[in-house]
């Protein structure tokens, strides 16, 4: 008889099942300890619903939202953000930041003009991402912690032109990754900057 074989003690099927079960429980707990904090504090998935951000985002695209960056700096003009809808915080919207706290946003048809302390004469926003410009006429001065947001597909977007300013505390985060469709995978999808004036 082989001495090495004689020293091994075979496990019963019940012992093997119990060991497998506890290994699975340990793995699940470890996964939860890693995934839950990331999901709550760092990033979360978001599926685009509707046509308000065409041509930047299309219906059913799968995004990862960065929830961490805005803990270290404020949102900037042209960031694409996901936020809780001010009229019903159980719903989430995705739009582009047009106006920042302290700005006066003036919309004259398809032209958007921003006035602020750095630009008292105002400047007209370049918006190459916009599809179907609107015919709105309005002017809004933003207070502290207020943002003016609009969809890129202006005629199909319910945004600050309709329901008013977006309070800072309702912003969840910015669009960080587009994962689906696979043909459109991208980092900071929708990013556009005119030096964030």
1 burial (CB, 10 Å; 0-12 / 13-18 / 19+) is: exposed
Residues 33, 35: Cα–Cα separation, whole Å: 6
Look at the chain and count its residues. 197
- Omega of the bond prior to 178 within 30 degrees of 0, cis? no
The distance of Cα 90 from the centroid of its chain, to the nearest Å, equals 15
User: Residue 25 in 3-state DSSP?
Assistant: helix
User: Residue 131 in 3-state DSSP?
Assistant: strand
Q: Which residues are catalytic?
A: 52, 95
What one-character DSSP code corresponds to residue 153? B
Looking at the DSSP bridge assignments, the partners of residue 167 are 146
């Amino acid at each position: 008889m082989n001495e090495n074989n004689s020293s091994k003690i075979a496990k019963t099927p019940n012992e093997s099942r119990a060991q497998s079960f506890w290994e699975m429980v340990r793995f699940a707990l470890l996964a939860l300890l890693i995934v839950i904090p990331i999901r709550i504090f760092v990033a979360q998935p978001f599926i685009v619903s509707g046509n308000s951000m065409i041509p930047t985002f299309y219906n059913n695209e799968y995004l990862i939202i960065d929830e961490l960056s805005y803990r270290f700096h404020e949102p900037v003009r042209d960031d694409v953000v996901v936020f809780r809808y001010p009229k019903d915080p159980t719903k989430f919207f995705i739009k582009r930041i047009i106006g920042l706290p302290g700005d006066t946003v003036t919309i004259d048809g398809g032209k958007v003009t921003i006035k602020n302390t750095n630009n008292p004469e105002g400047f007209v926003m370049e918006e190459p991402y916009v599809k179907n410009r609107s015919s709105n006429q309005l002017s809004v001065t933003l207070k502290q912690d207020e943002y003016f947001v609009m969809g890129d597909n202006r005629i199909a977007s319910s945004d600050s032109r309709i329901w008013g300013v977006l309070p800072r505390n309702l912003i969840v985060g910015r669009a960080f990754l587009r994962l689906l469709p696979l043909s459109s995978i991208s980092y900071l999808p929708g990013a556009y900057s005119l030096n964030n004036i």
